[in-house]
Structure 1
């Protein structure tokens, strides 16, 4: 088990480094001069050259990437071109709201999708199964940003059940929760369908195995068999998908934050793109990528703990 987890951790680090290099090249390919953004259009060429030299922007791109990664290992993400504040402070101030949004969206997906999948598996080919299948397929096809727009129009603007924008007043938990409902539902609704269908397929496969037939022969109820003996095995494929799903939830959270004007990594990155504020943009993307890689590693670890055969084969 320890060897397997070590290999997966080293693989995660390798993927993270490669992703950082690619992201660095892509972001710095975006048009725009950071020196002009920071100093303003009236700055002289001499002032711009001095700024580029001070920020290391006159070095070759590969050298800039290596220097950035070395600085990153020391906890330094650079300086905001506009406010001259450390990017680390800006990113980690916005990070908790984005993580809470993504985790809450995942909570919606598990709390709603898991029971639907179990219910559908216990009643295969029934009207319940058909309805769950229609609902699951429908919500999977809906992008997070589209759900955010329609949810905003219906529940915030028309019905006025929930606030339209913002994250709520600091210190007021009830207000923060009310501001979280619509964005988190928009982020997690598609994964309700994914989880429901995955749980259904996995449970039907396990329900057909010999040990389940033995439990039934001894008079054990279908519900007890499903909850105690089938679901722990059937949930393993779901965990493998959730590793990737958490990354998709984070990317969905970024878009949803922009729609709901909710402060977080999404709004921070969006504002950085508009202003060509490359250090802030890259810091936001780096943290999001790191969370994505970490989510996949944790999913692999959870699968290995639930099914030790994975560690033996991997």
Structure 2
């Protein structure tokens, strides 16, 4: 297990390095001059040249990438020139809001998806199985930004069950959870369908295993066999899918944070890209990609710990 974990950690670090380096290259080679956005159209050529030199934009691409990683390794993500503050301060003040949104979406997708998938497998080939299948596919087909908009209109504007904007009062956990419920549900709803279909398929396969037949032969109750034994192994693929699905939830968080006017990495990246604020974009993307890769790594290690066959395959 230790060797397996070491290999996965090295792979995760390589993925982060390649992804950020490629994104950095794309960012600095895009057409347009960021000094025009940051300094305004009336800035003199001398001021623009000095600003570009200060940001290191005149250096070759490989030099800029090397300088960026050199700063990252020392814990320096750069400066936010728009607000004259460290990028790390802006990123890590927004990160908790996005993490809460993503983990809230995981809660909705895991709890509802596992129950729906297990119920569908328990009633396979019945009309209940067909209904849950249609519901699952419907959840998958619904775009998160559409769900966010209609959830806002229905539950916040029309029914007034949830607040429309904001992240809640600082320090008030109940207020935070109250403001988090609807946007996290809007993100997690699409993944309910994925988890349900995967759990159903995995559970049907697990029910044919020898140890399940043995448990039935010993006369254990049907519910105990299905939900106590089969479901425990059947949820492992769902754990892997949710770990990889963090990336999709992070991209959906951009729409949710804009629709519900929530602070977070999504809003920060959107504003920074619009303003061509390179340091904030790269710092935010580094943290977002690192967060995604870390969650996928944890899901992989959890699967390997629960099912040793994953270590043998790798």
Work out whether 1:270 is the aligned partner of 2:282. no
Indicate the larger mover: 195-204 or 26-35. Answer: 26-35
Measured against aligned partners, the alpha-carbon deviations of 1:159-213 in whole angstroms (never above 9, x if no partner) come to 2211111111212323222211110001100111111111111111111222212
Question: Counterparts of 2:160 and 2:31 in 1: how far apart (Å)?
Answer: 41
TM-fit CA distance, 1:114: 0.8
* Unpaired runs of at least 5, structure 1: none
Please report the RMSD computed on the Cα atoms of aligned residues, expressed in angstroms: 1.3
Structure 1 outlier segments of 4+, above 3 Å: 29-32
Question: Counterparts of 2:276 and 2:168 in 1: how far apart (Å)?
Answer: 28
Question: Counterparts of 1:28 and 1:146 in 2: how far apart (Å)?
Answer: 32
Q: How many residues align?
A: 314
TM-fit CA distance, 1:63: 0.9
Measured against aligned partners, the alpha-carbon deviations of 1:33-90 in whole angstroms (never above 9, x if no partner) come to 2223333222211111111112211101221111101111111111112111111100
Measured against aligned partners, the alpha-carbon deviations of 1:197-233 in whole angstroms (never above 9, x if no partner) come to 1111111111122221221122111211123321222
Matched with 1:133 is 133
Matched with 1:44 is 44
Aligned-partner SS, 2:272? helix
- Residues 114 and 235 in structure 2, CA contact (< 8 A), matched pair in contact too: no
Matched with 1:146 is 146
Question: Counterparts of 1:236 and 1:53 in 2: how far apart (Å)?
Answer: 51
Question: Within 5 A, what are the aligned runs for 1:66-105?
Answer: 66-105=66-105
Question: Counterparts of 2:172 and 2:103 in 1: how far apart (Å)?
Answer: 20
Work out whether 1:235 is the aligned partner of 2:235. yes
Give the TM-score of the pair, scaled to structure 1.
Answer: 0.96
Work out whether 1:197 is the aligned partner of 2:202. no
TM-fit CA distance, 1:140: 0.5
* Unpaired runs of at least 5, structure 2: none
TM-fit CA distance, 1:32: 3.3
TM-fit CA distance, 1:23: 0.7
TM-fit CA distance, 1:135: 0.8
Question: Counterparts of 2:181 and 2:217 in 1: how far apart (Å)?
Answer: 45
- Residues 120 and 132 in structure 1, CA contact (< 8 A), matched pair in contact too: yes
